[in-house]
Amino acid sequence: MLALTLLTLVLVNMYMVFGDSSKAVTRKAAQFDTEVEARRVLDRIALAVIGAELETLQVPNSAPNSSSAIDYSVNMGFEDGAVVWSPGRRIAHQNGHEVSWRENPGEVDERHATWTRAAATLLEGELQNGIDDNGNGLIDERGLSFDVQGRMVAIRLTIEKPGPDGKLVTKTLETRVTCRN
Amino acid sequence: MRMGNRSWRRSSAKRGSALMAALFVVLMVGTLSMAYLQMSISKNKEQQGAADAKRALYMAEAGLSEAYAGMVAGKSGNVGSDLLPARFGNGVFWVVAENLGDNKTCLTSTGLCGTGRSSVSLVVENKRPSVASQGVFADSAIVVQAGAVIDSYDSRTTASGVSVGGMTLAGGSTTSGSGANAARVASNANITVQGTTARADGARVLGDVHPGPGGVVVAGTGSTITGSTAPKEAALALPEVRYPNVAQSGNIAYDKASPALVLPTGTAGYESFHLTGTGNATLAGPLTLVLDRLILDAGTRLTINTTNGAVKIFVRDWLKLAPGSTITCASTDPTKTAIVCGGMETVDRDADGIADPPVTIGATSSYYGFVYAPRATFTLANTFNIWGAIAARGLTIAGGGRIHFDRAFLDLPGDEGADPEPMCWRLVQLPPARIVEERTDPLLYLKLRGITPVPSKDAHYDAGVTPLTGITKPWSRVTVAP
């Protein structure tokens, strides 16, 4: 009887340890996945914008109003003594959770790609209330926001994905790129 | 006793069962730990890879900056190569410079750091025209005396034995060419082309003569100008001479005809280089020589050999190629030879009581190269025939003199004083190089092959020198797609 009780105790403890460890590993894996996705998408956006021609760089609003889309053109090369610029391109936060890239947006020959479907509706810490809740100088910015300051573009991105316990795992990253053209 | 034996047998049968359970627990914990460790390693690798990718981009941009600085200093823009890249911090880079023509150069830099790889391209333009591309140029007046002839040719296409302006071009390369009416004479002031005199026919300029914005061309009766004489729209400022930073190693005075004095290649500096008596010296490229004084007395001979590399002579104070001295060029590529003098004042330089001008060019020579003396006014003797270009503060071409402007100077990548202007920047595809394709740390990769990367400041190539490369597949250099 005593041995059985002791065995039960040991087994229960083992189960609790394994259970907690397993949950921790799964949680960490979810955080890791979210962080990896956030970094990849942000790096992709940064590399797309870094070669933009300054005069073609356009955002719908300027600070403190936020912009969740950016229009730009990049240098494609040099031909016949002249610089060749790409057609207009757009990176935008759309449909609530998507970050998409488009070339010739709205045209017949439009090309597009979706870089992530896990973008948050609003940037982390922000609420839709007309106030800068997270203190970054922007009001009600979406999960992807652009802020053009001279030659520099500040890009903020929040990625959220469901975790193992049903709670959302969130990761917010920010970077600043200086346009080279 | 029997009962004791039975209980002992029973307990011995059960011995080791706790070990099984313990082993199972240890295995489970070990498996979980391994999973967690694997995840941590994976995360670290991911973060390290992202960091290396960014570092590689900055490394590539550092390469562009290095190549740009090299172009400002008169280099070609090529820095290192995929076989021997330049070392910068904890990574390497190399830059390929491609001449796009029309004073434009495309610099493509590939940066490697850790597992990161990045390639960026920048097109630069030398907006200010090269001084050498002006042909015969002076900041103040130019006088072309009667009997002198100024014409043009192209050293890249004119063959050996082709007559240009009545003189036979020695050496040369491919098929014949002429274009003898594309000479260039320009000034920021007036230009005088003397007409026929009692002693000589009128001067001939087979090409354009452009005075300064407020200047005029004075063409004497009997002179010939075949091209435009319209004034320039804007004055061209002669850039200051930028002397290479070379320590001086004393004086050289040589008076023997044999053996000839041969300076080692590379970079050298002396206070004075003076050939006296029957002195005979050879300067073989690649050589950059920085002097306070270059003096060739009558009867001396200087040979310039650019077969293996460019020869650039910088003289700070006194350039004296006395009448009766001889300069011989062993190669006929004018773009590889330059004599640059920054001297300005006429003062007594040798304590003989007679003031010495900063520049005297009276030697006998068929000189293939560029002469640049932005602060000196002098007369170019009719024994010193130039195949190339010349620029000075003020210039007189002595009667009977010959200058053959080389149109190859029109396509040289840069001017000694003009800073290239960036035009456009873009990310490009990685080149098909082995060191790029093997995603290991480039420093380790090179170390295993016994290759020591060169410090970036020492990895520049001179204009006209093509770096060795192992890339055999075509490199499309397309823009990286998002």
CA distance A57 to chain B (A): 15
pLDDT beyond 70 at B8: no
Tokens of B270: 């002396």
A69-114 tens-digit pLDDT: 999 999 988 887 788 899 999 999 998 899 999 999 889 999 999 9
CA distance A139 to chain B (A): 29
The answer to whether A47 contacts B35, with C-beta atoms less than 8 Å apart, is no
pLDDT beyond 70 at B128: no
pLDDT at B173: 34
Chain A residues with CB inside 8 Å of B35's CB? 25
A111-170 tens-digit pLDDT: 999 999 999 999 988 888 888 888 888 888 889 999 998 889 999 999 999 988 888 899
Instruction: Please state the rounded mean pLDDT for residues A11-26.
Output: 82
Is residue B420 very low, low, confident or very high in pLDDT (cuts 50, 70, 90)? confident
Interface test with A, best of B44, B426, B478 (most A CBs within 10 A): B426
Alpha-carbon distances, residue A31 vs A25, A27, A148, A172, A173 (angstroms)? 10, 6, 30, 12, 13
Whether B266 and B287 have beta carbons less than 8 Å apart is answered as yes
SS3 category, A35: helix
Domain-wise residue ranges, chain A: 2-178
Residue of A nearest to B57 (CA): A47
Min mean pLDDT across A116-125, B88-97, B219-228, B417-426 is at: B417-426
pLDDT at A99: 95
Handedness of CA A47, A53, A56, A58 (dihedral sign): positive
Domain-wise residue ranges, chain B: 2-41, 55-127+418-458, 132-411
Closest CA to B39 of A170, A171, A30, A42: A30
B159-184 tens-digit pLDDT: 544 455 555 544 433 333 344 578 99
Interface test with B, best of A11, A25, A99 (most B CBs within 10 A): A25
CB neighbourhood size of B295 (10 A)? 23
The answer to whether B35 contacts A25, with C-beta atoms less than 8 Å apart, is yes
Instruction: Please state the rounded mean pLDDT for residues B315-329.
Output: 96
Instruction: Please state the rounded mean pLDDT for residues B225-235.
Output: 90
What ipTM goes with this model?
A: 0.86
pLDDT at B465: 78
Closest CA to B54 of A177, A142, A91: A177
B235-275 tens-digit pLDDT: 888 888 889 888 999 999 999 999 999 999 999 999 999 99
Is residue B36 very low, low, confident or very high in pLDDT (cuts 50, 70, 90)? confident
When the pLDDT of each residue in chain B is averaged and rounded to a whole number, the result is 87
* Of B32, B53, B427, Cβ closest to residue A51: B427
Closest CA to A33 of A164, A166, A176, A165: A164
Is residue B217 very low, low, confident or very high in pLDDT (cuts 50, 70, 90)? very high
pLDDT beyond 70 at B213: yes
Q: Is A88 within 8 Å of chain B by CB? A: no
| Residue B476 or residue A11, greater confidence | A11
The answer to whether A78 contacts B424, with C-beta atoms less than 8 Å apart, is yes
Min mean pLDDT across B298-302, B323-327, B409-413 is at: B409-413
Chain A residues with CB inside 8 Å of B53's CB? 43
Q: In this structure, what are the phi and psi dihedrals at residue A33, rounded to the nearest 5 degrees?
A: -60, -45
CA distance B424 to chain A (A): 6
Distance (Å, whole) CA A120 – CA A17: 34
Distance (Å, whole) CA B482 – CA B476: 17
Distance (Å, whole) CA B14 – CA B37: 36
Min mean pLDDT across A8-12, A48-52, B199-203, B294-298 is at: A8-12
pLDDT beyond 90 at B276: yes
* Of A25, A76, A83, Cβ closest to residue B423: A83
Interfacial B residues in 86-115 facing A (CB < 8 Å): 100-102, 104, 106
| Residue B267 or residue B100, greater confidence | B267
Instruction: Please state the rounded mean pLDDT for residues A19-44.
Output: 88
